[in-house]
Structure 1
Amino acid sequence: MGAAAWSPVSFREVTDDLDPRVLAAGPPPLPGPAGSDSGGTWRFRLADPGRGDADLVAGWMARPHVDLFWEQAWPAERWAAVLRRQLDGECTRPLIAARDGLDLAYLEVYRTPRDVVGRHYPARPHDLGVHIAIGPIEATGRGVGRNLVRTLAQALFDADPACLRIVADPDVRHEVARRMFARAGFRQMSEVDLGHKRAALMSCRRPDFTIPAS
């Protein structure tokens, strides 16, 4: 989504004719701190524009390796509006992921029945979706993303016992992201047209969530 089409209102969120069970599920949970399989501890906090996180996210989004597929290299004031709307709503929670005190990634955790993704598979009320952008280029290509996805998925399952599936929708052209999710235990369900991109719809299910060997 380019800057010219920007709006503080999510272009992905579904608001009409929501099942009462979807409404009852409430917003996504905040995952708790969790140790990783490579040592260290991941911590997840709400992205707060009042403490400088809009500047942090805007800086990451302007980096070429992130902008290539996110296409959201917006000014900090625009990101502040987006973060505030997400925090005020029920669909998406914007998060900053840090390992051992170092901020490394921007995350969006959302309820898939409230998102366009939920139109492309039989979404249950408590299903969750994730978007992940690793900010520092030096943190890419070293297994950090795979480790983050593994840890985040388990932390979300722990935080919402009613959640049975976690979904990711990387761009079909983004082979690195697709490989990252696959190595973290996600399996591809289909390729779908979300309007703003052609996505590889991938998921992990609580009953059979396993972490494959590296």
Structure 2
Amino acid sequence: MLLKHHLPIEKSPSGVVDHYNNISLQGEICFGYNFVAEYDENIHSLPQLLCLLDALFYLNDHIKHVQLPKKQWQQSKPWQALVRAFNTESLSRFEFYSHPLNGLNETQRPLFNHIDSQRMSPKRPINLTQEVYRRFDNELGKFISFKVADPDADIGIFHQWMHHPRVSEFWEMDLPKEELKSYLTDKFNTPFNLPLIGYFDDEAFGYFEVYWAAEDRIAPYYAWQGYDRGLHLLVGNDAYRGTRFFKAWCKAISHFIFLDCPMTQKIVLEPRHDNQKLFNQITKLGFIKEYEFEFPHKRAALISIEKVKFYKENFQC
């Protein structure tokens, strides 16, 4: 579910409140971590309820579980939709943030398995052309979203980014526009890759390639599992460099990957071994540097994060 609008939601003594829409989640804490929510008849949609729950968790680290009792909420259509989605009237912080409703466009998009003589790995539908993820980053105060890269519409900005000195230093792809368009087209048409453009409040800032690790050049260099995903990335818009933006997009792209395929338990990256700026930032978010190894074209470092650790470090689950 892609939420298009988000208004400030404030913390209150007994919950959170959205003054603009005159809605709130008020309640009491039981056992020090379980929030029991009182019914609010002014909540008219599932997106409103999701935004309130998101704000409640974000503003209250000690709340690990939320209950919306059937006795009070059963006449509420948003509550009924929530129960259909989560199959429960109470949910943990992990259950909430790991549900596809928290960012994905298509919450039931199928994956197809590819089988060859040596391995089986999933592949994506090749007809994806839309926005695949959108969430409001409470800490940054901006929406972050990802759209499938269009080789025709996005070649201008992709060419510009690839010729940025800070990008070309590591990507080494400051090529003519025609060659870069061919590169994007190949990624778009290959079902093991998902090329994305990242946006802050609908302003493009970076390029991301999400891939199935078993089908990538990294496969011979680590003990991959069938649903591991890898990531190549660049930030081409200088306005969105820096620690706070790094934290926002790294958290969001990782969140998208884990939501996109619930069976994915690990994300890997293989940056150049001397990309110290990346290492300094990404390890703050729970990623670890496992070891260095020799690619044919570079000495690389294997960077990774497990699913459980990601949610613990980034959503306090």
Q: Please say whether Structure 1 and Structure 2 have the same fold, judged by a TM-score greater than 0.5.
A: yes
TM-score range, shorter chain: 0.7 to 0.9
Q: Which residue of 2 aligns with 1:182?
A: 283
Task: Give distance in 1, aligned partners of 2:183 and 2:142.
Answer: 31
Q: Match for 1:158 among 247, 259, 262?
A: 259
Instruction: Indicate the SS of the match to 1:50.
Output: coil
Higher percent of residues as strand:
2
Please state how far the C-alpha of 1:95 moved relative to its aligned partner: 0.7
Query: Is residue 57 of structure 1 aligned with residue 158 of structure 2?
Result: yes
Query: 1:172, 1:198 within 8 Å by CA — same for their partners in 2?
Result: yes
Give the number of aligned pairs.
195
Query: Is residue 119 of structure 1 aligned with residue 220 of structure 2?
Result: yes
Task: Give distance in 2, aligned partners of 1:175 and 1:66.
Answer: 14
Q: Match for 2:200 among 79, 92, 99?
A: 99
Query: 1:27, 1:110 within 8 Å by CA — same for their partners in 2?
Result: no
> Residues 9-158 of structure 1: matches in 2 within 5 Å?
17-19=117-119, 21-22=120-121, 25-27=122-124, 31-36=132-137, 37-51=139-153, 53-158=154-259
Q: Which residue of 1 aligns with 2:292?
A: 191
User: What do residues 46-70 of structure 1 show as CA deviations (whole Å, max 9, x unaligned)?
Assistant: 110221x112111001011111111
Range 173-182 or range 158-167, more displaced: 173-182
Query: 1:178, 1:200 within 8 Å by CA — same for their partners in 2?
Result: no
Task: Give distance in 1, aligned partners of 2:242 and 2:144.
Answer: 18
Percent of residue pairs identical: 25
Instruction: Indicate the SS of the match to 2:224.
Output: coil
Q: CA RMSD in A?
A: 2.2
User: What do residues 16-39 of structure 1 show as CA deviations (whole Å, max 9, x unaligned)?
Assistant: 8541x21xx113998521232422
TM-score normalized by the length of structure 1: 0.83
Q: Match for 2:301 among 200, 206, 212?
A: 200
Instruction: Indicate the SS of the match to 2:300.
Output: strand
Range 29-38 or range 133-142, more displaced: 29-38
Query: 1:170, 1:178 within 8 Å by CA — same for their partners in 2?
Result: no
Between structure 1 and structure 2, the one with the greater Rg is 2
Task: Give distance in 2, aligned partners of 1:39 and 1:199.
Answer: 34
More relative contact order, 1 or 2 (CA 8 Å, 6+ apart): 1
Query: 1:35, 1:151 within 8 Å by CA — same for their partners in 2?
Result: no
User: What do residues 87-123 of structure 1 show as CA deviations (whole Å, max 9, x unaligned)?
Assistant: 1112211110001111000111111101121211111
Question: Which ranges of structure 1 fall in alignment gaps of 5 or more residues?
Answer: 1-14
Question: Which ranges of structure 2 fall in alignment gaps of 5 or more residues?
Answer: 1-114
Distance 1:56 1:189, change over 3 A: same
TM-score normalized by the length of structure 2: 0.57
User: What do residues 151-209 of structure 1 show as CA deviations (whole Å, max 9, x unaligned)?
Assistant: 11112111110101011111111111122221222111111112111111011111222
Query: 2:288, 2:303 within 8 Å by CA — same for their partners in 1?
Result: yes
Query: 2:243, 2:281 within 8 Å by CA — same for their partners in 1?
Result: no
